[in-house]
Amino acid sequence: MTTPYEEPERAAQNSGGEVADVPVDPGKIIAVHVAYESRAAQRGRRPAKPSYFIKPASSLAGSGATIERPEGTELLAFEGEIALVIGRAAKNVSVENAWSHVASVTASNDFGIYDYRAADKGSNLRNKGRDGYTPVGPRLIDARGVEPTELRVRTWVNGSLAQEDGTSDEQLIFPLSQFVADLSQHVTLEPGDVILTGTPAGSSVVAPGDVVEVEVDAPNAPGTPSSGRLRTRVVEGSGRFDESLGALPAVDDKQREEAWGSREAAGLPAIAPAADAAPAASADAGPAPTGPASADAATAPGSPSALPEDMRRRLLDLPTAGLSAQLRQRGLNQVSIEGVAPSQPGTKLVGVAKTLRFVPAREDLFKKHGGGYNAQKQAFDAVGDGEVIVIEARGEPGSGTLGDILALRAKSQGAAGVVTDGGVRDSAAVRDIGLPVFSSASHPAVLGRKHVPWEADVAVACGNATVLPGDVIVGDDDGVIVIPRDLVEDVVDGAEGKETQDAWVAERVAEGHPVDGLFPPVGRWKDEYESWLASRDQPSTGSGENQ
């Protein structure tokens, strides 16, 4: 064991598959229920004050250890967390002085079996207190060398990033120092005691064979100190519980939803909202981060499905200028997303709209909705194959509305592209990723300078055009247009006919004929064009006016 102020290297990362020593020796382990804005948004419950529970010291484990999912249970969930290790006794300390009582920080994993959550009734003893259910380590970061607002926690499952969040005022509901000060009002925090500070969004279920890794670091601190990766492998436990001794494990759909993180992740059917239900959220609390907020958005034609491949190919071959002309002939003039251009000239964009809305920056609202797993991150995580994320940024270019990480995430999800009437950060890196991105400008500032991420999958106004989820988005060097889903077939047929006509006219002009009466064909030229079409056994499908 190491004492809280020993050098972190004393509790080095395990190697060769060995189990590392636990780098702490606490008298008590105190865990916070909900601390991150992202977790509160995911759960739909935001606490007004912090709350806690106790974990036994026998639940500690080192990096490289295994954790058992007991036979007969199904919902073992991980929770990557930052652990605070007390260095000096704390009793009735202030928030301002609380951090001086913290010796070190490290990674922890607050594992739990949701099968026992209801039976525990909040104590979490059987749910989270089992042997090995509190891995900690592998190294300690000296708290004197880091700011409590600049830590980061990340969790990987089988090598894929599952959780990432920080400890800024915008990301945490309560600052880390508040936990120390608050707890010290009730119990004396003694050297070696551990406080688990809650988990961000992204916690979910793991199964035997899965490997979970958690790392805590301070990427902006001198030397970029890190705990190293805390590694735990899940195995199947043996034996069953004796009903004569106590409660047996039991689950329902509510526990499955909360363990997995969502009904969708748990494989449960979505709950349809009541038709006459009024919006539940106040303006201050903000709406749910995803889901349509109006009947128009909810019933957008075709919104649940991607474009058929043959239609996508046809749209790729058509210019926005020709499609715009067809829409104008059908009485639709307000369908151009103004002021946006491709990050790479020559880019073609075709896909179905998935919408994201930002509201103007306001400090109190950004604190609630801007940090953690906010609506912006949720939208980029949820974008589907062939969808275009269309962002309403009110034409405000004074900060980025996405950067290279989110662009990379969208591309990995199969997104067709992004359209934003705001700015793009890391523009060179975004361009190199190869995802079609149309924006109004490049800007180095982060989102919170001008915007609060508010909601997704609703009607938005992007570049003075209204876009509904499910609308078809087409972009090229001339700009971006919006095609209502129910008009796509008709518009494409008309545009293809006009392209055929324009190609025939171009050949005649190249032969030296003047454009008068030829562009578009009228009189003799119209007769010749229709004869040419008939000779190709193709009906005339468009004779729109020149734009």
225 touches 145 (CB < 8 A):
yes
- Give me the pLDDT at residue 8, please: 37
pLDDT, tens digit, for every residue of 430-465?
999 999 999 999 999 988 899 999 999 999 999 999
Assess whether 481 and 361 both reside in one domain. Answer: yes
Assess whether 455 and 418 both reside in one domain. Answer: yes
> Bigger pLDDT: 6 or 473?
473
Assess whether 498 and 481 both reside in one domain. Answer: no
- Give me the pLDDT at residue 422, please: 95
Peptide bond into 138 cis (omega under 30): yes
Distance CA 127, CA 120 (A): 7
Assess whether 157 and 229 both reside in one domain. Answer: yes
Residue 165 in marked binding region: no
- Count of the separate structural domains present in the chain: 3
- Give me the pLDDT at residue 474, please: 97
- CATH code: domain of residue 222: 3.90.850.10
Q: Is residue 547 part of a domain?
A: no
Assess whether 512 and 439 both reside in one domain. Answer: no
Which residues form the domain of 504?
489-533
Assess whether 464 and 525 both reside in one domain. Answer: no
What is residue 295's three-state secondary structure? helix
Assess whether 401 and 473 both reside in one domain. Answer: yes
Residue 537 in marked binding region: no
Overall average pLDDT of the 474-487 stretch: 95
Residue 86 in marked binding region: no
Q: Is residue 292 part of a domain?
A: no
Distance CA 38, CA 447 (A): 16
Domain limit, last residue, from 428, 456, 485: 485
- Give me the pLDDT at residue 17, please: 63
pLDDT above 80 for 275: no
Percent of the chain surpassing pLDDT 90: 65
pLDDT, tens digit, for every residue of 171-224?
999 999 999 999 999 999 999 999 999 999 999 999 999 999 999 999 999 999
442 touches 276 (CB < 8 A):
no
pLDDT, tens digit, for every residue of 66-81?
999 998 899 999 999 9
Task: Label residue 540 by pLDDT band (50, 70, 90).
Answer: very low
Residue 365 in marked binding region: no
Assess whether 97 and 117 both reside in one domain. Answer: yes
Q: Is residue 282 part of a domain?
A: no
Residue 405 in marked binding region: yes
Q: Is residue 434 part of a domain?
A: yes
Assess whether 102 and 168 both reside in one domain. Answer: yes
- Give me the pLDDT at residue 271, please: 66
Residue 382: which of 363, 419, 345, 409 has the closest Cα?
409
Assess whether 524 and 420 both reside in one domain. Answer: no
Positive/negative CA dihedral, 249, 255, 260, 265: positive
410 touches 430 (CB < 8 A):
no
Q: Is residue 540 part of a domain?
A: no
Task: Label residue 497 by pLDDT band (50, 70, 90).
Answer: confident
Strand order in the sheet with 66-69: 66-69, 230-236, 211-217, 152-157, 160-166
Q: Is residue 19 part of a domain?
A: no
Residue 60 in marked binding region: no
Q: Is residue 281 part of a domain?
A: no
Q: Average model confidence (pLDDT) for the chain?
A: 86
Distance CA 440, CA 376 (A): 18
Assess whether 480 and 520 both reside in one domain. Answer: no
Assess whether 104 and 196 both reside in one domain. Answer: yes
Task: Label residue 500 by pLDDT band (50, 70, 90).
Answer: confident
- CATH code: domain of residue 327: 3.50.30.40
